[in-house]
Amino acid sequence: MSEPTADLQAAAAQAAELRAQLQHHAHLYYVLDAPALPDAEYDRLFQQLQALEAAHPELLTPDSPTQRIIGRVLDGFAPVRHAVAMLSIRTETDTTAAGATAFDERVRRELALPPEASPVEYNAELKFDGLAINLRYEHGVLVQAATRGDGETGEDVTQNIRTIGQVPLRLLGAADTLPPVLEVRGEVYMRRDDFERLNERQREKGEKTYINPRNTAAGAVRQLDPAITAQRPLSFFAYGLGEVQGWNRPATHSATLDALAAFGIPVCADRAVALGAEGLVAFHAAMGAQRDALPFDIDGVVYKVNSVELQQRLGFVTREPRWAVAHKYPAQEQLTRLNGIDIQVGRTGKLTPVAKLEPVFVGGTTVSNATLHNVFELRRKGVRVGDTVIVRRAGDVIPEVVGRVMEGAPGPRMPYVPNFRQPRACPVCGSRVLRERGGMDHRCTGGLFCAAQRKQALLHFAGRRAMDVEGLGDKLVDQLVDGGLIRTLPELYKLGVAKLIELERLGEKSAANLVAGLEKSKQTTFARFLYALGIRHVGETTAKDLARHFGGIDRLMAASVDELLQVNDVGPVVAQSIRAFFDQPHNVEVVEQLRAAGIHWPEQAAALGPQPLAGKTLVLTGTLPTLSRDEAKALIEAAGGKVSGSVSKKTNYVVAGEEAGSKLDKARELGVPVLDEAGLQALLHAEA
């Protein structure tokens, strides 16, 4: 072939420049979660590169960002022999602090450390719940990705892994400084929000939902068609190394992870260098407390001796290193038998199918009831009485049945009970059941006529965050309602000790306690009272906003939908729900009777004036000349506005002061109006 023409040289230089830019922005976007380019601009660069590569196919490189989703449907995965075996780690089954202490003691014993020797340094990290992957980079370019397989031989899943935006196709750094061979090991997983969105899409399409993020991630990596993998939102975290050539690896595991992060590889920030057993115990406790708030599932933490030299001294037993251990948390999912399905009626009449389970220990407690959400979920999950089901309980979340185990269900299965498919009558009061248009929920229309709704309304009313009536629990509410003592909320305050002790199993002391609790609850706040009424869509925050806005119940009861819409965060659905509630004469009567019974609250300062910033979102950046950040925020909120931490297309104004940073750039980029303090003051004092 002829010498490269000047044209081709220019194209090559331009392609290299575009790739570098796209790589940089992909790293900011996927790995650091801090995009610096609007999506449209990224797309434009991407298309430019695509056009260039189409015109000059000889310029195409395997690490080009255009090569992520290119692949063909495979018949199967080719085997990959690991250069360095992919080991597993020992699991400390004791989920208490003792698990961490036991590991530290073992390490000290095996290193023959005397008791007075200083504590061993560990790197503590999370145990991600996904699928282990080995990424092989040669001179900085991703050349192969393989699953663990049996540890010696895995499967070649390169074309699937390439579709994961977080996995760099090329490492950051100058080509001549990158190691000839660097194998990075880590976990492919799925974030919970990505999993929920994926299931949401499945639901919209009327397709089967996935059971949990872990299985979904593992399944996606082992898809023969990379186009399908590309549609699954997968993420990746590195936690170690495989084969390395020509790289002076750092002397500790923690520094190794830092070095991987500098290469542009995602490394989880929730890790710590921990000293001795004490440090490990603290990490285990801290992560245990945060576990449910993490954006992804973990089933424990992993401790690793930090010094590579000590790791080598410790070595391996069979296929597990002596220098690492997994320390688990109590499992959040368990299998059990579904003994029955009940339909429960909630406070607002919502019908919820509830699974009656063979009691099982999960997420730290024994669970015997779990929600099945609604009849559509019930149908989609296809669970029937007698099935073995997966029960999940994470943190304070209500336990739920996630699905059933397909295998090993011998014999014929129980039929569906028709009433679950299309409930028409309330199982408690027999009233008609309606389904809101387009909604998933069925509701009993019985209102307070329905004993189930009445019980829930009472419990809500008496709840700690509402009227806070001490001594009124579910058992007592059941008795009061079933015994016909209470039909409406105000009747609560007519209960006397004499009447109460007629109830079976209620002693004089409990009766007196309840009466005292009721008396005490009469002194309350407007917001609590409003919340206690149980108006649909009026939660605690909305109740507070309404109380602040209207100042008094009479003004609120008289407010039109338009007036209600002026309140912070109140949209049409909430406004209509409030209006509909007070349009019912019996609800107004309930309010009057409760006030007549003596419920009172300190009158609030005159209702707020106009709300010129109602419905507006503002972002503050930099230092304002006279107002502090908190003062500016308070003024904006008092004017009905919201303050957000990041600029998006939905931001109405950015208020910028001295040394404003990237938020100001972003505002300019998106064309969001930018104000100074004087501009903000003008807005605050504008007529609504």
Q: Among all residues, which ones are annotated catalytic?
A: 127
- Yes or no: say if 350 and 359 are a contact pair by the CB < 8 Å rule: no
Applying CB under 6 A, which part among 84-92, 171-179, 190-198, 504-512 lies near ligand IVH? 84-92
Is 324 one of the binding residues for ligand IVH (CB under 6 A)? yes
Is 154 one of the binding residues for ligand IVH (CB under 6 A)? no
Shortest spacing between CB 135 and ligand IVH, in angstroms: 13
Q: Which is nearer to ligand IVH, 128 or 210 (CB)?
A: 128
Going by their DSSP bridges, the two strands 235-245 and 181-189 should be labelled as antiparallel
Per CB under 6 A, the list member of 149, 219, 321, 471 interacting with ligand IVH is 321
Applying CB under 6 A, which part among 81-89, 398-406, 532-540, 545-553 lies near ligand IVH? 81-89
Is 312 one of the binding residues for ligand IVH (CB under 6 A)? no
Shortest spacing between CB 133 and ligand IVH, in angstroms: 8
Per CB under 6 A, the list member of 12, 28, 45, 89 interacting with ligand IVH is 89
Cα–Cα distance, 60 to 288 (Å, whole number):
47
Please state, in angstroms and as integers, the Cα–Cα distance from residue 201 to each residue in 204, 370, 499, following that order. Answer: 5, 24, 55
Shortest spacing between CB 122 and ligand IVH, in angstroms: 12
Applying CB under 6 A, which part among 82-90, 348-356, 488-496, 559-567 lies near ligand IVH? 82-90
Shortest spacing between CB 292 and ligand IVH, in angstroms: 18
**At which residue do the structure tokens 């490492």 appear?**
171
Please state, in angstroms and as integers, the Cα–Cα distance from residue 648 to each residue in 450, 618, 640, following that order. Answer: 46, 10, 19
CA nearest 31: which of 197, 262, 253, 192?
Answer: 262
Please state, in angstroms and as integers, the Cα–Cα distance from residue 592 to each residue in 460, 543, 596, 609, following that order. Answer: 19, 18, 6, 27
Is 239 one of the binding residues for ligand IVH (CB under 6 A)? yes
- CA 499 distance to own-chain centroid: 48
Cα–Cα distance, 399 to 212 (Å, whole number):
14
Shortest spacing between CB 282 and ligand IVH, in angstroms: 18
Q: Which is nearer to ligand IVH, 267 or 613 (CB)?
A: 267
Shortest spacing between CB 322 and ligand IVH, in angstroms: 10
x-or-dash string of contact with ligand IVH, 181-210, rule CB under 6 A: ------x-----------------------
- Give me the DSSP letters along 190-213: --HHHHHHHHHHHHHTTPPPPS-H
Opening angle at CA 434, ends 431 and 439, nearest 5: 150
Is 161 one of the binding residues for ligand IVH (CB under 6 A)? no
Opening angle at CA 125, ends 27 and 81, nearest 5: 70
Q: Which is nearer to ligand IVH, 127 or 350 (CB)?
A: 127
How many of the chain's residues bind ligand IVH (CB under 6 A)?
13
Per CB under 6 A, the list member of 87, 325, 383, 594 interacting with ligand IVH is 87
- Give me the DSSP letters along 450-513: SHHHHHHHHHHHHSTTTT--TT--HHHHHHHHHTTS-SSGGGGGG--HHHHTTSTT--HHHHHH
Site for ligand IVH in 94-133 (CB under 6 A): 125, 127-128, 132
Shortest spacing between CB 88 and ligand IVH, in angstroms: 3
Cα–Cα distance, 380 to 371 (Å, whole number):
14
Site residues (vs ligand IVH, CB under 6 A): 87-89, 125, 127-128, 132, 187, 239-240, 302, 321, 324
